[in-house]
A and B are shown apart, each in its own frame.
Chain A
Amino acid sequence: MPTHEQILLKNMSTPGYTGSLADYERAGGYQALRKVLGKITPADVTEMVKKSGLRGRGGAGFPTAVKWEFLPKDYQGPRYLCCNADESEPGTFKDRQLMERDPHQMLEGIVIACYAIGAEIGYIYIRGEFALGTQILERALGEARAAGYLGTNILDTGFNLDVWVHRGAGAYICGEETALLESLEGKRGLPRVKPPFPATHGLYNKPTVVNNVETLANLPHILNRGPEWFASIGAPPRSTGTRIFCVSGHVKRPGNYEVPMGITFRELIFEHAGGMRSDKPLKAIIPGGASAAFFTDQHLEVKLDFESVAQAGSMLGSGGVTVMEEGTSMVWAALRLMEFFYHESCGKCTPCREGSSWLVQTLRRIMAKRGRHEDLDTLTELCKNIAGRTICAFGDAEVAPILSTLQYWRHEYEELIEAAEAAELITPEPALARH
């Protein structure tokens, strides 16, 4: 099996590593912070991050330093950094491992980011279900404060910062940056209309940067070993560094795999994750979390970098790679994902709220062999009227599974509909409105 240098997962893979501050420092932790604070200007830090080519690891892949630079330059008031630890994209579990097993790596990244953007308060918005992660983070924050890495006059450089953990309450939509900010402010987690963007009108309407856990965890390494080193890994210039891919589904070894960007799906699934669980042929892959369009076995040679996956018709997204074997019903898969989206729709805007409900009811009917021929056109029409018409990207996300399964496995839908017609079922319909 090919071995690639582990960067983010290195510490936690060392036997006996507990994630404590002492362990982290022994492994070279907080060196980057000492190198940076008071010695490299915030603007230079941003420049280094820009040279490294680091792009957001939450799903959108936006260049991190460019996002930082959107903050207004001459503004004098408070700025905020929010770490998006709401990891809720189905099939994604990398941030959880990063926070539970090596919290200080992310914390060091948070301090560096706050220094670069001039924030004196940072928030970690962690999904409510991560009770263990919250406990571990609180403990790590206590250690960092006691050691003087957080608080006033950090490392005698005059830089002040404190970081607080805020628990979510189970809403996938709170991973959307503006909904996260609303929730952090104590309001219902409903996305805001953009523009304006959080960089100018974020938390409490102040300039704010929202970054993902893995994005922040990369910062100490970039500052320690240099942006050129980071930029030489992976698939430069557009997809630099490593990425933690979360392989799940019908594979022998599901789990988190940190690999350089640009390896193929085949290498990730068959070499790292051990191949198919029951040795059946591979049927489908979800490349980047539930919002990413499905891939087939024809896509195994596609490279895992932002551009290649986008060109092949999907998105690298959150890094959640779910594998399905021959025998999986793709209509069932689309329905399962649609149930998730229907449940998680925040309800604010019409197309997503009504559309998700309509889509899920139609799919349930088809799956229950109560479908009609016009249902397939209905599904396509609905998807067309939802995507691009919503306040946030949730609308675009929820139509991806249906559109891509219809594209590659339309015959499965048709078979179910033909079965419904053949059976001429007149028994009462199963309960379709399940809340």
Chain B
Amino acid sequence: MADVAVETVKLTIDGVPVTALQGTLVIEAARQMGVMIPHFCYHPKLKPDANCRMCVVEIEKVPKLQTSCSTPVAEGMVVRTATTVVNEAHKSILEFILANHPLDCPV
């Protein structure tokens, strides 16, 4: 493992310093430290499509919420996964999906 020449990146997620390999998606970096960001359309084996918009997070210095499934980690990035704005975004996305979606998935 010590011979792998992939750079690591240091960032902060929810106040916790995280070190991740370059190219790691923010949603994966969060999962590695135990934070599960809600998502619908993301799967580790698929290319990110970023269409459900559920996995949005706040990234410092970036004006709009960003989808964590399509954003790779960057040095010095400060990510917040559970602010008021993010929580309201989660609610609104879920509401949008359920507006035209019969809730019979558990059936």
Interface, chain A (partner B; CB < 8 A): 193, 348-351, 353-355, 357-358, 385, 388-391
The tally of residues in B whose CB lies under 8 Å from a CB in A reads 21
Contact indicator A391/B50 (Cβ below 8 Å):
yes
Most buried by B among A193, A350, A358, A388: A350
- Given contacts A385-B92, A389-B89, whether A349 and B52 have CB atoms under 8 Å apart is yes
Please give, as numbers and ranges, the residues of chain B lying within 8 Å of A389 by CB-CB distance: 53, 56, 64-65, 89, 92-93
Contact indicator B51/A388 (Cβ below 8 Å):
no
Contact indicator A354/B52 (Cβ below 8 Å):
no
- Is B99 an interface position by the 8 A CB rule? yes
Contact indicator A193/B56 (Cβ below 8 Å):
no
Please give, as numbers and ranges, the residues of chain A lying within 8 Å of B24 by CB-CB distance: none
Contact indicator B65/A388 (Cβ below 8 Å):
yes
Contact indicator B97/A385 (Cβ below 8 Å):
no
Contact indicator B65/A350 (Cβ below 8 Å):
no
Contact indicator B50/A351 (Cβ below 8 Å):
no
Contact indicator B93/A351 (Cβ below 8 Å):
yes
Contact indicator B99/A348 (Cβ below 8 Å):
no
Give the CA-CA distance A349 to B56 in the complex, in Å. Answer: 13
Give the CA-CA distance A349 to B67 in the complex, in Å. Answer: 12
Kindly supply a per-residue 1/0 record for chain B positions 55-70, scoring 1 wherever the CB is within 8 Å of any chain A CB and 0 otherwise.
Answer: 0100000011101001
A398 to chain B, nearest CB (A): 13
Contact indicator B51/A350 (Cβ below 8 Å):
yes
Please give, as numbers and ranges, the residues of chain A lying within 8 Å of B97 by CB-CB distance: 350, 354
Across the interface, name the chain A residue whose C-beta is closest to B48.
A193
- Given contacts A193-B67, A354-B99, A358-B99, whether A385 and B51 have CB atoms under 8 Å apart is no
Give the CA-CA distance A357 to B99 in the complex, in Å. Answer: 10
B94 to chain A, nearest CB (A): 9
A185 to chain B, nearest CB (A): 15
Please give, as numbers and ranges, the residues of chain B lying within 8 Å of A355 by CB-CB distance: 96
Kindly supply a per-residue 1/0 record for chain B positions 1-41, scoring 1 wherever the CB is within 8 Å of any chain A CB and 0 otherwise.
Answer: 00000000000000000000000000000000000000000
| B64: contacting residue among A349, A350, A353, A388, CB under 8 A | A388
- Given contacts A193-B67, A388-B65, A389-B65, whether A357 and B100 have CB atoms under 8 Å apart is yes
Please give, as numbers and ranges, the residues of chain A lying within 8 Å of B88 by CB-CB distance: 385
Interface, chain B (partner A; CB < 8 A): 48-54, 56, 63-65, 67, 70, 88-89, 92-93, 96-97, 99-100
Please give, as numbers and ranges, the residues of chain B lying within 8 Å of A350 by CB-CB distance: 51-54, 93, 96-97
Please classify the interface of chain B as helix (H, G, I), strand (E, B), loop, or mixed, using the class held by over half of its residues.
Answer: loop
B39 to chain A, nearest CB (A): 12
Contact indicator A351/B92 (Cβ below 8 Å):
yes
Give the CA-CA distance A354 to B96 in the complex, in Å. Answer: 6
Across the interface, name the chain B residue whose C-beta is closest to A194.
B70
B69 to chain A, nearest CB (A): 9
Give the CA-CA distance A193 to B71 in the complex, in Å. Answer: 10
Please give, as numbers and ranges, the residues of chain A lying within 8 Å of B56 by CB-CB distance: 389
Across the interface, name the chain B residue whose C-beta is closest to A388.
B64
B83 to chain A, nearest CB (A): 15
Please give, as numbers and ranges, the residues of chain A lying within 8 Å of B99 by CB-CB distance: 354, 357-358
Give the CA-CA distance A409 to B100 in the complex, in Å. Answer: 30
* CB<8 Å pairs between A and B, sample of 12: A349-B50, A350-B52, A351-B93, A354-B96, A354-B97, A357-B100, A358-B99, A389-B53, A389-B93, A390-B53, A391-B50, A391-B51
Please give, as numbers and ranges, the residues of chain B lying within 8 Å of A385 by CB-CB distance: 88-89, 92-93, 96
Give the CA-CA distance A193 to B70 in the complex, in Å. Answer: 8
Contact indicator B50/A193 (Cβ below 8 Å):
yes
B65 to chain A, nearest CB (A): 6
Please give, as numbers and ranges, the residues of chain B lying within 8 Å of A348 by CB-CB distance: 49, 51
Most buried by B among A351, A353, A390: A351
Give the CA-CA distance A348 to B67 in the complex, in Å. Answer: 14
Contact indicator A358/B96 (Cβ below 8 Å):
yes
Give the CA-CA distance A318 to B48 in the complex, in Å. Answer: 32
Give the CA-CA distance A354 to B49 in the complex, in Å. Answer: 17
Give the CA-CA distance A357 to B54 in the complex, in Å. Answer: 19
Please give, as numbers and ranges, the residues of chain A lying within 8 Å of B100 by CB-CB distance: 354, 357
Give the CA-CA distance A388 to B85 in the complex, in Å. Answer: 12
A280 to chain B, nearest CB (A): 40
B36 to chain A, nearest CB (A): 19
Please give, as numbers and ranges, the residues of chain A lying within 8 Å of B50 by CB-CB distance: 193, 349, 391
A184 to chain B, nearest CB (A): 20
Across the interface, name the chain B residue whose C-beta is closest to A387.
B64
Most buried by A among B70, B92, B99: B92
Please give, as numbers and ranges, the residues of chain B lying within 8 Å of A193 by CB-CB distance: 48, 50, 67, 70
A364 to chain B, nearest CB (A): 15
